[in-house]
């Protein structure tokens, strides 16, 4: 394995930014650290780089313990959120900086810079200064500069945070292509779950300094380890129910209690795609009014209002929508195909979004 | 193209129709008043310095400057500036670095202290040193025992000048360093640079123009300072007279031409300082404009589009 984080804790004064986190990244992997801001993901990235020192725990890169190795000798490439290009140097000198410091031969530096300029599509911009570049160009220079000394790990802090939405999408695809070509172990930080899902081989999810789950995008989406992950990755309908007469109820909705005792409270979650809609009012068990339709491109998001006032979110393709002849204000029938119990009262139901909560044994059970 | 031309025409048209435009009378009255003020209170006196200095011809002018006592004053002023300015450059770099890049207790206090010389009367500043190092001062007897002369000697003048010019470099650098942040330095570290390489290749170039600006202001004040230096110097002719002190002494002794001759040097220094300052500001402005232009020109990023077409 390329990088190992073992039981790492980081405290800033009284604040615990990272709390006993352990994970490993294999050679050549592209891993996204995902979480809300203040979750500790950037601190983890900076500790791998050596820009922050862990309060406790160990960091290994290629089997070598890095705690006492200064940032200069860790052989990492770091791309800052602001790109941090050297303002007083042009593109070529920015890229060459690390090579000059490492005392490469002049001819080798020139060859390497030329190679990177070509690879990153910066031809013709060699003599430009950072303030003469567009956001996307700046980012490519920053990545080229970080990669120039051939680091064993590439670390990127919010790499797409500073460019506008149009270029963002293209840059994501470009990063995946680049990673495919260079095959350098890459870790990036993002607060955008869509970005993490699209780009990463695996995602590490943080919240309030704790590691919540590691897995492929599919795993964290389909088998979230806990309520935080379930709610943070993708959209989810969340309902608090109470078991009465062997059935968990909220307003008109009913779910099997799965052996939870009478009177206990269950927090139930289901993805929008689990809400199946029909225009035949007698076909499916529940009724609702289609309150609003959001057009998101190929997919549409539908807001259903139940007679009790409860709002649920569903989604379907444009074609399905047209087939059913739906429009805002129409009455429909629906069912919930599958759901999961996110929390139950016996497990000491944690407050919303609390991260430390341990999943009860029923997690992952679908109907 | 036609669209752009039209836009420009439109902008010009809109300008002349602006509702807030003053009448030509008000506009020209204001401009005339401002110009007259500058002429009467700034330009005329300044020109007069040179006229008076040269009123008895070049030879008298040169003689006044090369008089041994005047020449001594010129050399002393240069010496004091040559010591005070580098000291304040080092201090200014250290203080602005500490304030911009670190969080520490007493930071607000340090910022306030840096401004102290601006808020204290120079005479009081000079007196502080007399009270501290003078014969009757706290350290006076100890200094005398060890045969160290500070007050009424060159070290005192240097101390007073350093104190007075303390804020100039730091004040210029703090906002620049704060705006730059620490990202570039950290980037240099991740690329393998050590502390000194980072300072030399990254930090210093990024504050270069601010530093030059601070140095010329600091130098102008160091050479021109009167009040604080007057208190500590003791006015020993040919020994502890700086140029401003020499000007005053000559003037009081009714040697107008000689006084104006030295004053003209100080005035020249002021003009050069203003010239450099204007050039630096013009340069910065031009860099900013260039950045704006290229940002506008480069707003469409063709690389990604062409790349995705190729694939």
pLDDT digits (tens, 9 = 90+) for B124-134: 999 999 988 88
* β-bridge mates for residue B302, sequence order: none
Question: For residue A243, is it within any domain?
Answer: yes
Instruction: Note whether A30 and A104 are same-domain residues.
Output: yes
Read off the pLDDT of each residue in B209-215 and give the average, rounded to a whole number. 90
Domain membership of residue A128 as a residue range: 3-227
pLDDT of residue B297 exceeding 60: no
Does A171 touch chain B if contact means CB atoms closer than 8 Å?
Answer: yes
Q: What is the DSSP letter of A90?
A: -
Question: For residue A303, is it within any domain?
Answer: yes
Instruction: Note whether A254 and A310 are same-domain residues.
Output: yes
Total domains in chain A come to 2
Instruction: Please give the biggest Cα pair distance in chain A.
Output: 81
CATH classification of the domain holding A274:
2.40.50.140
Does A180 touch chain B if contact means CB atoms closer than 8 Å?
Answer: no
**Phi, psi at A158, each rounded to 5°:** 40, 60
C-alpha–C-alpha distance, residues A343 and A361, integer Å: 10
Instruction: Note whether A83 and A155 are same-domain residues.
Output: yes
Instruction: Note whether A103 and A202 are same-domain residues.
Output: yes
Cβ atoms B302, A122 nearer than 8 A? no
Pairing label, strands A153-157, A76-79: parallel
Question: For residue A362, is it within any domain?
Answer: no
Read off the pLDDT of each residue in B204-211 and give the average, rounded to a whole number. 88
Instruction: Report chain B residues whose CB lies below 8 A from the CB of A134.
Output: 295, 298-301
The length of chain B is 311
Tokens coding B239? 């020994």
Tokens coding A29? 């992997």
Question: For residue A205, is it within any domain?
Answer: yes
Nearest to A289 by CA among A326, A331, A256, A327: A331
* β-bridge mates for residue A268, sequence order: A239, A341
Nearest to B298 among A71, A101, A134 (CB): A134
For A111-142, give the secondary structure using H, E and C: HHHHHHHHHCCCCCCCCCCHHHCCHHHHHHHH
**Phi, psi at A342, each rounded to 5°:** -80, -35
Mutate to test the interface with A, among B103, B104, B177, B192 (most CBs of A within 10 A): B192
Cβ atoms B216, B281 nearer than 8 A? no
pLDDT digits (tens, 9 = 90+) for B5-23: 444 444 444 444 566 777 8
Question: For residue A366, is it within any domain?
Answer: no
Instruction: Note whether A222 and A235 are same-domain residues.
Output: no
The pLDDT, as a whole number, for residue A251 is 84
Tokens coding A242? 């109470």
Cβ atoms A311, A305 nearer than 8 A? yes
* β-bridge mates for residue A292, sequence order: A303
The pLDDT, as a whole number, for residue A153 is 92
Q: Decide which of A227, A255, A274 is a domain's last residue.
A: A227
pLDDT of residue B4 exceeding 70: no
The pLDDT, as a whole number, for residue A14 is 87
Average pLDDT, chain B: 84
The Cα of B189 is separated from the nearest Cα of chain A by a number of Å equal to 6
pLDDT digits (tens, 9 = 90+) for B156-168: 999 999 999 989 9
- Measuring CA to CA, how many Å separate B90 from each of B83, B96, B169, B181? 11, 10, 9, 20
Instruction: State the virtual CA torsion across A174, A180, A182, A188 in degrees, nearest 10.
Output: 60
Instruction: Note whether A68 and A172 are same-domain residues.
Output: yes
Instruction: Note whether A50 and A199 are same-domain residues.
Output: yes
Tokens coding A98? 């690390």
The pLDDT, as a whole number, for residue B308 is 44
Instruction: Report chain B residues whose CB lies below 8 A from the CB of A130.
Output: none
A230: Cβ contacts below 8 Å, ≥ 6 apart: A224, A236, A269, A340, A342
For chain A, residues with pLDDT lower than 70 are: 1, 162, 346-367
C-alpha–C-alpha distance, residues A63 and A339, integer Å: 42
Cβ atoms A355, A210 nearer than 8 A? yes
The pLDDT, as a whole number, for residue B303 is 53
C-alpha–C-alpha distance, residues B186 and B193, integer Å: 9
C-alpha–C-alpha distance, residues B184 and B205, integer Å: 11
Instruction: Report chain B residues whose CB lies below 8 A from the CB of A82.
Output: 181, 183
pLDDT digits (tens, 9 = 90+) for B100-151: 888 888 888 988 999 899 899 999 999 999 988 888 888 888 888 888 888 8
Nearest to A233 by CA among A208, A215, A257, A252: A215
CATH classification of the domain holding A182:
3.40.50.300
The pLDDT, as a whole number, for residue A149 is 93
Smallest CA–CA distance from B306 into chain A, residue = A121
pLDDT of residue B302 exceeding 70: no
The pLDDT, as a whole number, for residue A201 is 92
pLDDT of residue B76 exceeding 80: yes
Nearest to A101 among B197, B295, B311 (CB): B197
Is residue B7 classed exposed, middle or buried when 0-12, 13-18 and 19+ CB atoms within 10 A define those classes?
exposed
Cβ atoms B158, B225 nearer than 8 A? no
Instruction: Note whether A119 and A194 are same-domain residues.
Output: yes
Cβ atoms A81, A158 nearer than 8 A? yes
In the three-class reduction of DSSP (H, G, I as helix; E, B as strand; rest coil), residue A191 is classed as: coil
C-alpha–C-alpha distance, residues A292 and A219, integer Å: 31
The pLDDT, as a whole number, for residue A263 is 80
Q: Which domains does chain B have, with CATH numbers?
A: 49-287 (1.10.3720.10)
Cβ atoms A186, A154 nearer than 8 A? yes
Chain pair A-B, CB pairs under 8 angstroms: 101
Question: For residue A76, is it within any domain?
Answer: yes
Nearest to A193 by CA among A159, A217, A168: A217
Mutate to test the interface with A, among B181, B184, B191 (most CBs of A within 10 A): B191
Q: Decide which of A197, A227, A257 is a domain's last residue.
A: A227
Instruction: Report chain A residues whose CB lies below 8 A from the CB of B209.
Output: none
* Contact call for B187 and A171, based on CB within 8 A: no
Nearest to B192 among A102, A140, A167 (CB): A102
pLDDT of residue B298 exceeding 70: no
C-alpha–C-alpha distance, residues A155 and B122, integer Å: 54
Q: Decide which of A184, A209, A227 is a domain's last residue.
A: A227
With b meaning 16 or more CB within 10 Å and e meaning fewer, what string describes A220-241?
Answer: bbeebbbbbbbbbbbebbebeb
Instruction: Note whether A166 and A236 are same-domain residues.
Output: no
The pLDDT, as a whole number, for residue B250 is 92
The pLDDT, as a whole number, for residue A264 is 83
pLDDT of residue B311 exceeding 50: no
Q: ipTM of this model? A: 0.77
Instruction: Note whether A251 and A329 are same-domain residues.
Output: yes
* Contact call for A51 and B205, based on CB within 8 A: no
The length of chain A is 367
Residue B32 CB neighbour total at 10 angstroms:
10
The pLDDT, as a whole number, for residue A366 is 32
Mutate to test the interface with A, among B196, B209, B303, B308 (most CBs of A within 10 A): B303
Question: For residue A175, is it within any domain?
Answer: yes
Question: For residue A18, is it within any domain?
Answer: yes
- Measuring CA to CA, how many Å separate B80 from each of B89, B153, B154, B244? 14, 12, 8, 13
Q: For the sheet containing A275-278, what is the strand order? A: A275-278, A331-336, A286-295, A299-305, A311-317
Instruction: Note whether A179 and A35 are same-domain residues.
Output: yes
The Cα of B59 is separated from the nearest Cα of chain A by a number of Å equal to 49
Instruction: Note whether A42 and A119 are same-domain residues.
Output: yes
- Measuring CA to CA, how many Å separate A262 from each of A245, A254, B292? 7, 14, 69
């Amino acid at each position: 394995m390329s990088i190992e984080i073992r039981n790492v804790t980081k405290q800033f004064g009284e604040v615990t930014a990272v709390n006993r986190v352990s994970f490993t990244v294999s050679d050549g992997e592209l891993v996204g650290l995902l979480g809300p801001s203040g979750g500790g993901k950037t601190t983890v990235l900076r500790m791998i780089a050596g820009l922050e020192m862990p309060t406790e725990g160990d960091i290994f890169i290629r089997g070598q313990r890095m705690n006492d190795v200064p940032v200069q000798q860790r052989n990492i490439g770091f791309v800052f959120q602001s790109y941090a290009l050297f303002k007083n140097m042009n593109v070529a000198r920015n890229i060459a900086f690390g090579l000059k410091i490492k005392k490469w031969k002049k001819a080798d530096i020139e060859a390497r810079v030329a190679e990177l300029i070509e690879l990153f599509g910066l031809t013709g911009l060699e003599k430009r200064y950072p303030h003469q570049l567009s956001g996307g160009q700046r980012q490519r220079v920053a990545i080229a500069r970080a990669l120039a000394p051939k680091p064993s790990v590439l670390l990127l802090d919010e790499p797409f945070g500073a460019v506008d939405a149009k270029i963002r999408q293209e840059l994501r695809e470009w990063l995946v292509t680049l990673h495919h070509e260079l095959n350098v172990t890459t870790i990036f930080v993002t607060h955008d779950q869509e970005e993490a899902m699209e780009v990463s081989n695996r995602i590490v999810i943080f919240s309030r300094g704790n590691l919540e789950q590691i897995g492929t995008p599919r795993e964290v989406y389909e088998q979230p380890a806990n309520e935080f992950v379930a709610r943070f990755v993708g959209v989810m309908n969340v309902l608090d129910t109470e078991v009465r007469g062997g059935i968990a109820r909220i307003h008109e909705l009913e779910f099997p209690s799965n052996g939870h005792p009478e009177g206990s409270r269950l927090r139930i979650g289901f993805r929008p795609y689990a809400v199946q809609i029909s225009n035949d009012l007698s076909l499916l068990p529940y009724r609702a009014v289609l309150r609003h339709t959001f057009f998101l491109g190929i997919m549409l998001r539908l807001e259903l209002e139940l007679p009790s006032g409860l709002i649920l979110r569903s989604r379907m393709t444009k074609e399905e929508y047209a087939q059913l002849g739906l429009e805002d204000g129409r009455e429909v029938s629906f069912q919930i195909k599958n759901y999961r119990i996110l929390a139950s009262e016996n497990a000491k139901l944690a407050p919303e979004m609390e991260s430390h909560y341990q999943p009860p044994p029923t997690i992952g059970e679908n109907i | 193209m036609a669209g752009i031309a039209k836009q420009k025409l439109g902008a010009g048209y809109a300008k002349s129709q602006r509702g807030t435009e003053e009448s030509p009378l008000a506009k020209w009255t204001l401009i005339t008043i401002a110009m007259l003020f500058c002429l009467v209170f700034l330009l005329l006196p300044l020109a007069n310095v040179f006229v008076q200095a040269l009123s008895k011809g070049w030879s008298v002018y040169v003689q006044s400057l090369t008089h041994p006592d005047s020449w001594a004053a010129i050399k002393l002023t240069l010496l004091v500036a040559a010591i005070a300015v580098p000291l304040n450059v080092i201090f200014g770099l250290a203080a602005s670095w500490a304030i911009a890049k670190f969080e520490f207790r007493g930071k607000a206090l340090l910022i306030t202290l840096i401004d102290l010389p601006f808020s204290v009367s120079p005479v009081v500043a000079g007196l502080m040193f007399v009270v501290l190092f003078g014969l009757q001062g706290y350290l006076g007897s100890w200094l005398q025992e060890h045969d160290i002369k500070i007050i009424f000697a060159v070290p005192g003048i240097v101390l007073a000048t350093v104190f007075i010019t303390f804020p100039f470099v730091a004040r210029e650098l703090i906002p620049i360093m704060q705006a730059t942040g620490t990202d570039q330095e950290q980037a240099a570290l991740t690329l393998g640079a050590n502390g000194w390489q980072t300072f030399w290749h990254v930090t210093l170039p990024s504050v270069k123009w601010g530093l030059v600006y601070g140095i010329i202001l600091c130098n102008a004040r160091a050479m021109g300072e009167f009040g604080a230096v007057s208190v500590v110097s003791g006015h020993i002719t040919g020994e502890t007279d700086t140029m401003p002190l020499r000007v005053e002494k000559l003037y009081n002794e009714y040697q107008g031409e000689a006084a104006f001759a030295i004053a003209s040097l100080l005035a020249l220094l002021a003009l050069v300082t203003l010239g450099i300052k204007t050039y630096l500001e013009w340069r910065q402005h031009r860099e900013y404009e260039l950045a704006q232009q290229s940002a506008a020109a480069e707003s469409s990023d063709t690389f990604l589009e062409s790349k995705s077409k190729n694939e």
